[in-house]
Amino acid sequence: MISVEEARRIILENIRPLKETEAKEMCSCLGRVLAFDLMAKENIPPFSNSAMDGFAARAKDLAGASRENPKTLEVIESLAAGYTAKRSVGSMRAIRIMTGAPLPKGADSVVMVEDTKNKEEFVIIFKEVEKGENVRYAGEDVKKGEIVIKNGTVLKSGHIGLLASLGAGKIKVFRQPRVAILATGDELVEIGQRLSPGKIRNSNAYSLYGQALKMAALPILLGIARDNKKDLEQKIRKGLSADMLLVSGGVSVGDYDFVKDVLKDLGTQMKFWRVAMKPGKPLAFGMMNGVPVFGLPGNPVSSMISFEQFVRPALLKMSGAREISRFYLPAIAKEDFEKKKGLRYFLRVILENKDGQLYASLTGPQGSGILKSMALANGIMELPEDMEVLRKGEKAKVTYLD
Ligand code: AMP
Ligand code: MG
């Protein structure tokens, strides 16, 4: 049995990033990985402009202005966003200006409308401004020539906005890993089928499908293989044309757990098959002709936790992402929990924020077959191997799932 870190290390050491790229409309690139360093060809903003609705003026004309000692300027033009001023601002003059409109020539600052009173063609100003006040300078967000988004960045909404600002309609991203998903078990039936005695519905394939989609991968459902070597072999072969294969169930020590044997018979180089964790102890990992193969535990929660801990980083690396580590936060336990020494526990919790402090309560019974415990969770609490009991009020580290 190896540790969670060791398992992750072995997996990542075997994963090669996909090299192929594709050109995509940037709108559909949320979660995709940028395949080049994006250099700005323009400044953002492209011109200096007003950060407020107000009056563009010269700071020196307003020196000393206050409620008691207001200054009066002549208003020579009104400027909306999207247009340029026809006149320049001279001594004791101002241009009425809207947020986003280009700073007129001659003006060096903007007085907020709240600090003024407009009277016909004059404005009375009650406050002095500094040079540059309420001005957004050209290039203050992004400078022409700057690398704005680095190769290997997983694109978020903000990146999509930046791409739009820079006029990058189509961009080069790494292609999505194709992830084949195979459920195994004589007890499994598909969604539309009748539940005859002894049968349960295949749920793992679908939670894995969702998890893969969330990683911007392309899941491929291979259906259900029955618990015999022939069927397993046939269906596992199909999965080998994908970039990664996930087999669910059949990797434990039961009489009909043939997955490891079949993988070996097919020439998979098995790297390990047990990890010191709960849920998720039976986890097999191997490489078959360059394709990483995960034998995920059959229990529904174990399957999902194993995906989070091992498949997720593997997919990120395969997708070309530079950053694959996960963020931990401290949370205070709202109840006691006893655990076995030697295993890392992954508890499904509901995280609540009270006055800036996170609190974690269990999502109910924590059995590895209780899928609801996962569905209700917005966080996972990790308890270290050497811990035996977590007391209410103690801190532990959590990851946020949403
Ligand atoms: P196994 O690892 O194959 O022994 O399966 C462990 C437990 O997980 C058993 O109770 C199985 O019925 C259940 N299980 C296995 N595969 C699935 C699946 N695809 N969907 C739901 N439950 C499953
Ligand atoms: Mg089984």
Q: What's the pLDDT at 119?
A: 86
Cα(251) to ligand 2 centroid in Å equals: 8
Q: Are 116 and 2 in contact (CB under 8 A)?
A: no
Cα(368) to ligand 1 centroid in Å equals: 10
Backbone angles phi, psi at 229, to 5 degrees: -60, -35
Can you tell me the distance from the alpha carbon of 387 to that of 347, in angstroms, rounded to the nearest whole number?
A: 13
Residue at 101: amino acid letter: A
Cα(362) to ligand 2 centroid in Å equals: 28
Q: Are 391 and 334 in contact (CB under 8 A)?
A: no
Nearest to 178 by CA among 288, 292, 269, 268: 292
Q: What's the pLDDT at 99?
A: 98
Best probe residue, ligand 1, of 181, 207, 211, 248 (max atoms within 8 Å of C-beta): 248
Q: What is the DSSP letter of 229?
A: H
Cα(209) to ligand 2 centroid in Å equals: 19
Can you tell me the distance from the alpha carbon of 122 to that of 96, in angstroms, rounded to the nearest whole number?
A: 10
| Residues within a 6 A CB radius of ligand 1 | 183, 185, 187-188, 200, 202-205, 248-250, 252, 254, 257, 297-300
Q: Whose CA is nearest to atom 12 of ligand 1?
A: 187
Q: Which two tokens stand for residue 402?
A: 């949403």
Burial label for 354, CB within 10 Å (0-12, 13-18, 19+), is exposed
Q: Whose CA is nearest to atom 16 of ligand 1?
A: 298
Can you tell me the distance from the alpha carbon of 233 to that of 226, in angstroms, rounded to the nearest whole number?
A: 10
Q: What's the pLDDT at 245?
A: 98
Can you tell me the distance from the alpha carbon of 104 to that of 115, in angstroms, rounded to the nearest whole number?
A: 20
Q: How many CB atoms lie within 10 A of CB 253?
A: 8
Backbone angles phi, psi at 110, to 5 degrees: -130, 130
Can you tell me the distance from the alpha carbon of 252 to that of 188, in angstroms, rounded to the nearest whole number?
A: 17
Identify whether 279 is preceded by a cis peptide bond (ω within 30 of 0). yes
Nearest to 380 by CA among 324, 304, 313, 315: 304
Burial label for 90, CB within 10 Å (0-12, 13-18, 19+), is middle
Q: Are 199 and 159 in contact (CB under 8 A)?
A: no
Q: What's the pLDDT at 62?
A: 98
Identify whether 45 is preceded by a cis peptide bond (ω within 30 of 0). yes
Can you tell me the distance from the alpha carbon of 77 to that of 56, in angstroms, rounded to the nearest whole number?
A: 10
Q: What's the pLDDT at 86?
A: 98
Enumerate the β-bridge partners of residue 55.
96, 111
Q: What is the DSSP letter of 175?
A: P
Q: What's the pLDDT at 402?
A: 81
Global pTM value: 0.94
Atom of ligand 1 nearest to the CA of 227: 3
Can you tell me the distance from the alpha carbon of 232 to that of 250, in angstroms, rounded to the nearest whole number?
A: 10
Can you tell me the distance from the alpha carbon of 184 to that of 28, in angstroms, rounded to the nearest whole number?
A: 34
Cα(83) to ligand 2 centroid in Å equals: 68
Identify whether 102 is preceded by a cis peptide bond (ω within 30 of 0). no
Cα(186) to ligand 1 centroid in Å equals: 10
Q: Whose CA is nearest to atom 14 of ligand 1?
A: 298
Per-residue pLDDT of the chain (402 residues), as tens digits, is 999 999 999 999 999 999 999 999 999 999 999 999 999 999 999 999 999 999 999 999 999 999 999 999 999 999 999 999 999 999 999 999 999 999 999 999 999 999 999 988 999 999 999 999 999 999 999 999 999 999 999 999 999 999 999 999 999 999 999 999 999 999 999 999 999 999 999 999 999 999 999 999 999 999 999 999 999 999 999 999 999 999 999 999 999 999 999 999 999 999 999 999 999 999 999 999 999 999 999 999 999 999 999 999 999 999 999 999 999 999 999 999 999 999 999 999 999 999 999 999 999 999 999 999 999 999 999 999 999 999 999 999 999 998
Q: Which two tokens stand for residue 73?
A: 């300027």
Residue 173's contacts (CB-CB under 8 Å, 6 or more residues apart) are: 21, 22, 24, 29, 32, 33, 34, 35, 155
Sign of the Cα torsion 386, 391, 393, 398 reads positive
